[in-house]
Amino acid sequence: MNFPEIDPVLLHIGPLQLRWYGLMYILGFVAAYFILVNVSRKRNYELARAEIEDLLAYCVAGLIIGARLGYCLFYNFGYYFEHPLRIFAVWEGGMSFHGGLIGLVVAGWIFSRIKKKQFLMLADMGALAAPPGLFFGRIGNFINAELYGRVTDMPWGMVFPGAGPFSRHPSQIYEALLEGVVLFILLYVIHLKTRISGILISSFLIFYGVMRFFLEFFRQPDQHLGFISGHLTMGQILCLIMMSAGAVLLALRLKSIRP
Length of the chain: 259
pLDDT for res 90: 72
Model confidence over 100-153: pLDDT tens digits? Answer: 999 999 999 999 999 999 999 999 999 999 999 999 999 999 998 888 999 999
Contact 167, 153 (CB under 8 A): yes
Contact 199, 190 (CB under 8 A): yes
CA distance 129 to 36: 6
pLDDT for res 41: 86
CA distance 131 to 57: 18
Each of the 259 residues of the chain gets a pLDDT tens digit; together they read 788 888 888 887 877 778 888 899 899 999 999 999 999 888 877 788 899 999 999 999 999 999 999 889 888 888 888 888 888 877 666 788 889 999 999 999 999 999 999 999 999 999 999 999 999 999 999 998 888 999 999 999 999 998 889 999 999 999 999 999 999 999 999 999 988 899 999 999 999 999 999 999 999 987 767 777 778 988 899 999 999 999 999 999 988 776 5
Amino acid making up residue 73: L
CA distance 135 to 29: 12
Amino acid making up residue 80: Y
Query: By C-alpha distance, which of 63, 144, 143, 69 is closest to 103?
Result: 63
Q: What is the dihedral of CA 129, 135, 140, 142, to 10 degrees?
A: 160
Query: By C-alpha distance, which of 65, 113, 56 is closest to 87?
Result: 65
Amino acid making up residue 55: L
pTM: 0.90
Computed on alpha carbons and rounded to an integer, the radius of gyration of the chain in Å comes to 19
